[in-house]
Amino acid sequence: MRLILITVLVMIAFAANSVLTRFAINGGYIDPTGFALLRVTSGAVVLSSLLWLRGGALQLMNRQRFFGASMLALYIIGFSLAYLTLDAGLGALILFASVQIGMFAHAALFGVGLSARQATGAAVAFPGLVLVLWPGVGVDVDLAGAFLMIAAGLGWAAYTISGKGSANPLANTAANFVICVPLVACLLLFKTTSFTSFGVFLGVICGGITSGLGYALWYSVLPKIPQSNAAVIQSSVPVIAIIAGAVLLSEPLGLKVVVATGLVLGGILLAVSGSSAQAGRK
């Protein structure tokens, strides 16, 4: 039960990242460059402070840490820049489709494997994801933005996979964020930033709480979740974001959203139950 509650909390935090980012950037409170930099910097500060209070130490000189930080930077930079040109719904669809494709491809290539029920669950969840996020027929897609979002999704998939072997989730996540700061700051070489005090507040909340602490919790539960299930579980994030957007941002919520929510959550339940049944037979 504790694992389920933590996983639900993490998915809500991940969905909050999308809601906060949309609200901050679309509301004109801050530009994407400034939001990305504030997000990763505040995450680094909060996580490093928490690690220090617990008597831990950053482990920066580590090849795995640099890989994790690079993938985190790829996700944050790609995510921020892609939303300069992509519709929010289409961007989220590309992102999470890329995450799932990346994680399932890794599982297949490295012998993790999928049960028939897990594969069926993924097949049920993905059409729901498409249904809830697809912006409509005839919408022009900016190819540069699409490639940036695909890169962000693959970066997040790689970051998630690398976290499977984490022995100290808090220390590793803090180190990833610290190393990621100068990588994201490279955006300032190409574009200046502008922001309001409220935009700074939203960026700090997104970075310190829903990103930093959310990722630390995700690292802590990843070793206890099959990789294939982790890919399917993350399909719930855009659904949660859409529902939160309807409630908090007055975004439209129609019948297709309700149907898609049932598909996605049904697919997740099917995949997770398949893993549980398989574990029970061992």
Structural domain including 101 reads: 2-114+135-236
Instruction: Indicate whether 119 pLDDT > 70.
Output: yes
- The per-residue pLDDT for 90 is 65
* Residue 211 falls inside a structural domain: yes
Q: How many independent structural domains does the chain possess?
A: 1
* pLDDT recorded at residue 280: 46
Distance of alpha carbon 131 from its chain centroid, rounded?
19
* Assigned token pair, 183: 């990588």
Q: Name the token pair of 142.
A: 């900016």
pLDDT in tens, 146-181: 888 889 999 988 988 887 766 777 888 888 899 999
Per residue in 190-240, pLDDT (tens digit) is: 877 888 999 999 999 999 999 888 877 887 787 787 766 776 777 778 778
Q: Are 229 and 62 in contact (CB under 8 A)?
A: no
Please give the Cα distance from 72 to 23 (Å, whole number).
Answer: 22
Out of 13-22, 121-130, 219-228, 259-268, the most confident range is 13-22
Higher pLDDT pick, 12 / 88: 12
List b or e across 119-133, with b for residues whose CB sees 16 or more CB atoms inside 10 angstroms.
bebbebbbebbebbb
- Point out the least confidently predicted range of 90-94, 120-124, 275-279: 275-279
Q: What is the pLDDT of residue 66?
A: 85
pLDDT surpassing 60 at residue 130: yes
Which letter, b or e, does each residue of 226-252 get, where b requires 16 or more Cβ atoms within 10 Å of its Cβ?
bbbbbbbbbbbbbbbbbbbbeeeeebe
Q: Note whether residue 267 is domain-resident.
A: no
Distance CA 171, CA 253 (A): 40
Q: What pLDDT is attached to residue 137? A: 47
Evaluate whether residue 175 is within a structural domain.
Answer: yes
Spatial separation of the C-alpha atoms in residues 240 and 109, rounded to whole Å: 30
pLDDT single digits (tens) 46-98: 999 988 988 888 877 777 788 888 999 999 998 888 777 766 666 776 777 78
The reply to whether 142 falls in a domain is yes
Task: Supply the pLDDT for residue 132.
Answer: 62
29 located within any domain: yes
270 in a structural domain: no
> pLDDT at position 79, please?
85
In the numeric block, which tokens belong to residue 218?
């995700």
Rounded to an integer, what distance in angstroms lies between the CA atom of residue 21 and that of residue 211? 11
> What pLDDT shows up at residue 231?
66
Whether residue 123 lies inside any domain: the answer is: no
Q: Which amino acid is at 122?
A: A
Q: State residue 171's pLDDT score.
A: 84
Given a contact cutoff of 8 angstroms between Cβ atoms, the answer to whether 14 and 237 are in contact is yes
Among the listed ranges 99-113, 194-208, 263-277, which one has the minimum average pLDDT value?
263-277
Q: Are 173 and 59 in contact (CB under 8 A)?
A: no
Instruction: Give the confidence band of 282 by pLDDT, cuts at 50, 70, 90.
Output: very low
Predicted pLDDT at 85: 74
What is the distance, to the nearest Å, from the Cα of residue 145 to the centroid of all Cα atoms in its chain? Answer: 17
Please spell the DSSP secondary structure of the chain, one letter per residue: -HHHHHHHHHHHHHHHHHHHHHHHHHTTSB-HHHHHHHHHHHHHHHHHHHHHHTT-----S-HHHHHHHHHHHHHHHHHHHHTTTS-HHHHHHHHHHHHHHHHHHHHHHTT----HHHHHHHHHHHHHHHHHH---TT----HHHHHHHHHHHHHHHHHHHHGGG-S-HHHHHHHHHHHHHHHHHGGGGT----B-HHHHHHHHHIIIIIIIIHHHHHHHHGGGS-HHHHHHHTTHHHHHHHHHHHHHS-----HHHHHHHHHHHHHHHHHHHHHHHHHHT-
Mean pLDDT of the chain: 80
Asked if residue 43 is part of any domain, the answer here is yes
* Residue that wins the pLDDT comparison between 184 and 273: 184
